[in-house]
């Protein structure tokens, strides 16, 4: 009689990954989720398997840690743990060459990682070891015993499986959506994300402790948050917010995570240049979704960076309305982080659910540039002693703004505003291209609701309605005797004149002689304004109880350098000549960018593995010819980005370019495009969501 041997192992990759919702991953390993059984087929040879004479033991290794799992004839355990079983004898007649179907079980708290699997075949005469293969084990939002369990299928579809998203930037009054491809199903991405855990300082310093801690999504999220930036380690991205970007990529030109993660891995873990907050957050979202932890990208508009933790942000203006970079604290027009869903066993009842994680390097947490996971519930309820980094996150949306005017070296407080910071917090709505307002989950003011659909396919926000912000220096009068506000008749567009009106109201019964100083400065979303690029001054008289509207126009040629990624800080100071009383009003706004329109032929019947056509349409709105490179990408739609050089598009001329695409995965997908101009610092974007159906 021959010895029992293992002739062949079938990992049943297609069937297993379909049932584990991992069928779209590109990997040589079997990709499964913890807490859910999966099946292997063993082709035995030479001798028949006899339970009384032979033993089969799986050895499952994570690095140098391992667990021994005997194969038994039994039913699955009621509480999933490491286990392996078969339900009937592989060869009832005792003949050689039988096929054994074995079910493997993993705990819902098993560490995430790449496991090697060996099979030990034992009898009283011999002990043989066979290599079975590799298993990538992920968290499991479908398993109720997993700490990342999500109850609704629509949530799992959006926050785990979806491979594209929209990132929101701009200002609260003019929200702009930026398409992003998370790329988790593209080649090499799963391997890179698994490798990121191995490269982390936690793993390098104590590999055993790191492996054991990977059972906890709280621990995993803190490791990933630190590894997305390169401040303390071999992290993925280097941040840069000003200056030249010539030795890297300007952050606005990235449109997906795949290129960033692959570049990082192939460069032997040198940081990719460069990232800003939305890039850090989007790449982290990719890594978390790959690891099976539900994740979404969130934007906080008017986000405070409170360096001294006093919940106060100071801003300073000159008497001419120029904003000064005089404070270490700052307000970013928007800041982007992620939320991940998990149970917080470490915090007790009530703090499960969405947790803030911020990979943008701002402040250290336990000595490392990272932030979170901070429970959103703890932020809303002002539980400032709770781990991790709740006070910093709370300040980002709740700091009070104190505005000063500086005159002759002295600062005069002219306004205190508790509503400006955290004016709007939003994320992509489930299964939609609209933004969902989630401010109430952080600030508990008004009911959560979905924003109105934006006016264009790029999800533009409604026209801003700047609030009148009367502010005055206290000169001994009991109350301000006149007010001032800024009014826009429409949202300014890139390439147009900027038209606005200063509204001055005399609240007294006397004629007032006033001086007006209007100042415009350009700024990036995260920085103080640069020098003044336009100003205007005049003297006027306002009659008793009269309201005077003063129109202003910033000519297009002075705005030619402005793009969607710039913001304008516009301020007006009105000064009473006799009393020296001054009133300040200001508004920060972004410009509407032109867009690329994507039209898909027969879009109601886009089928899997079938070639389809799309047309990209763009009309030049500028008063000059433009040139650049048009790039079209779409995870699961295009094998690689399509690039088309645009040599010269004349003012008013319309460009029409056709491309073909062949979907390789079903479901909702995104085709997105960007036109990077060579004769001005601007990227023009467009996107189209496409529902891919089964081939008929």
Distance separating alpha carbons of residues 118 and 123, to the nearest angstrom: 17
Distance separating alpha carbons of residues 113 and 235, to the nearest angstrom: 19
Distance separating alpha carbons of residues 398 and 312, to the nearest angstrom: 9
277 is catalytic: yes
335 is catalytic: yes
Helix (H) or strand (E) holding 415: strand 410-417
Contact (Cβ atoms closer than 8 angstroms) between residue 633 and residue 606: no
Distance separating alpha carbons of residues 233 and 221, to the nearest angstrom: 16
Distance separating alpha carbons of residues 38 and 660, to the nearest angstrom: 38
HSE of 502, CA atoms in CB hemisphere, 13 A: 27
Count of positions (residues) in the chain: 696
Going by C-alpha positions, the residue among 616, 617, 607 that lies closest to residue 669 is: 607
Distance separating alpha carbons of residues 268 and 262, to the nearest angstrom: 10
Question: Cis omega (within 30 of 0) on the bond before 207?
Answer: no
Per residue, the 3-state secondary structure of 86-113, as one string, reads: ECCCCCCCCCCCCEEEEEEECCCCCCCE
Dihedral pair phi/psi, residue 581, rounded to 5°: -65, 140
HSE of 609, CA atoms in CB hemisphere, 13 A: 3
358 is catalytic: yes
Distance separating alpha carbons of residues 310 and 395, to the nearest angstrom: 9
**β-pair partners for 410:** 407
Alpha helices in 312-410 (DSSP H): 376-380, 390-398
Going by their DSSP bridges, the two strands 498-506 and 127-138 should be labelled as unpaired
Contact (Cβ atoms closer than 8 angstroms) between residue 621 and residue 594: yes
- Two tokens, residue 613: 């056509």
- Two tokens, residue 451: 């924003």
HSE of 129, CA atoms in CB hemisphere, 13 A: 6
Helix (H) or strand (E) holding 193: helix 189-199
622: DSSP letter? S
Return the ∠ at Cα 627 (arms to 624 and 633), rounded to 5°.
135
Annotated catalytic residue within 139, 143, 277, 285:
277
Distance separating alpha carbons of residues 428 and 434, to the nearest angstrom: 6
Annotated catalytic residue within 210, 358, 437, 565:
358
Distance separating alpha carbons of residues 594 and 592, to the nearest angstrom: 7
Annotated catalytic residue within 54, 203, 335, 552:
335
Sign of torsion over alpha carbons 297, 298, 302, 308: negative
- Two tokens, residue 455: 């006016």
Going by their DSSP bridges, the two strands 482-487 and 498-506 should be labelled as antiparallel
The 10 Å CB-count burial string (b at 16+, else e) for 63-83 is beeeeebebeeeeeeeebebb
Catalytically active residues are 277, 335, 358
């Amino acid at each position: 009689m021959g010895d029992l041997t293992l002739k062949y192992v079938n990992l049943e990759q297609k069937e297993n990954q379909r049932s584990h919702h991992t069928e779209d991953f590109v990997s040589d390993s079997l990709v499964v989720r913890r807490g859910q059984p999966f099946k292997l087929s063993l082709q035995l040879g030479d001798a028949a398997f006899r339970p009384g004479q032979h033993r089969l033991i799986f050895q499952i290794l994570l690095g140098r840690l391992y667990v021994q799992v005997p194969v038994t004839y039994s039913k699955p355990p009621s509480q999933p743990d490491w286990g392996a079983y078969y339900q009937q004898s592989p060869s009832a007649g005792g003949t050689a060459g039988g096929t054994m179907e074995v079910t493997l079980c993993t705990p819902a708290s098993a560490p995430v990682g790449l496991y090697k699997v060996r099979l030990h075949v034992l009898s009283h005469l011999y002990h043989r070891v066979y290599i079975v293969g590799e298993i990538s084990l992920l968290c499991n939002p479908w398993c109720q015993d997993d700490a990342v369990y999500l109850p609704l299928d629509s949530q799992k579809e959006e926050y785990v499986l979806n491979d594209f998203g929209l990132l929101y930037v701009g200002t609260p009054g003019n929200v702009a959506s930026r398409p992003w491809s998370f790329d988790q199903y593209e080649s090499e991405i799963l391997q890179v994300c698994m490798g990121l855990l191995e490269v982390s300082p936690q793993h390098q310093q104590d590999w055993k402790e790191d492996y054991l801690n990977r059972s906890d999504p709280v621990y995993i999220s803190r490791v990933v948050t630190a590894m997305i930036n390169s401040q303390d380690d071999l992290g993925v991205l280097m941040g840069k917010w000003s200056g030249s970007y010539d030795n890297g990529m300007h952050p606005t030109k990235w449109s997906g995570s795949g290129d960033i993660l692959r570049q990082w891995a192939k460069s032997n873990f040198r940081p990719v240049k460069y990232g800003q907050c939305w890039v850090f957050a989007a790449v982290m979202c990719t890594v978390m979704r790959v690891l099976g932890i539900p994740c979404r990208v969130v934007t906080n508009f008017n986000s405070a960076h409170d360096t001294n933790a006093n919940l106060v942000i100071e801003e300073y203006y000159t008497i001419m309305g120029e904003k000064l970079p005089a404070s270490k604290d700052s307000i970013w027009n928007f800041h982007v982080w992620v939320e991940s869903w998990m149970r917080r066993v470490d915090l007790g009842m009530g703090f499960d659910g969405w947790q803030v994680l911020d990979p943008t390097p701002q402040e250290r947490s336990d000595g490392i540039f990272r932030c979170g996971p901070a429970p959103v519930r703890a932020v809303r309820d002002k539980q400032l002693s709770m781990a991790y980094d709740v006070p910093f996150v709370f300040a980002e949306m709740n700091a009070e703004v104190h505005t000063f005017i500086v005159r002759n070296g002295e600062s005069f407080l002219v306004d205190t505003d508790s509503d400006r910071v955290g004016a709007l917090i939003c994320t992509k709505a489930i299964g939609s291209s609209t933004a969902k307002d989630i401010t109430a989950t952080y600030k508990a003011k008004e009911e959560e609701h979905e924003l109105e659909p934006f006016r264009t396919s790029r999800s533009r926000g409604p026209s801003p309605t700047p609030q009148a912000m009367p502010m005055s220096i206290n000169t001994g009068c009991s109350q301000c005797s006149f007010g001032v506000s800024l009014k826009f008749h429409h949202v300014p567009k890139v390439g147009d004149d900027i038209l606005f009106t200063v509204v001055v109201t005399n609240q007294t019964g006397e004629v007032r002689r006033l001086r007006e100083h209007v100042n415009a400065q350009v700024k990036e979303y995260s920085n103080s304004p640069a020098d003044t690029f336009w100003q205007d001054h005049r003297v006027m008289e306002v009659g008793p109880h009269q309201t005077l509207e003063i129109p202003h126009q910033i000519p297009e040629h002075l705005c030619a350098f402005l793009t969607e990624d710039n913001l304008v800080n516009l301020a007006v100071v009105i000064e009473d000549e006799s009393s020296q009383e001054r009133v300040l009003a200001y508004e920060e706004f972004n410009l509407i960018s032109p867009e690329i329109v994507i039209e898909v032929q027969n879009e109601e019947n886009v089928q899997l593995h079938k070639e389809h056509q799309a047309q990209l349409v763009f009309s030049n709105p500028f008063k000059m010819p433009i040139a650049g490179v048009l790039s079209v990408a779409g995870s699961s739609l295009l094998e690689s980005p399509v690039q088309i050089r645009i040599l010269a598009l004349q003012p008013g001329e319309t460009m029409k370019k056709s491309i073909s695409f062949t979907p390789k995965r079903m479901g909702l997908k995104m085709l997105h495009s960007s036109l990077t101009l060579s004769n001005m610092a601007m990227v023009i974007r467009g996107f189209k969501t496409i529902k891919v159906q089964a081939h008929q």
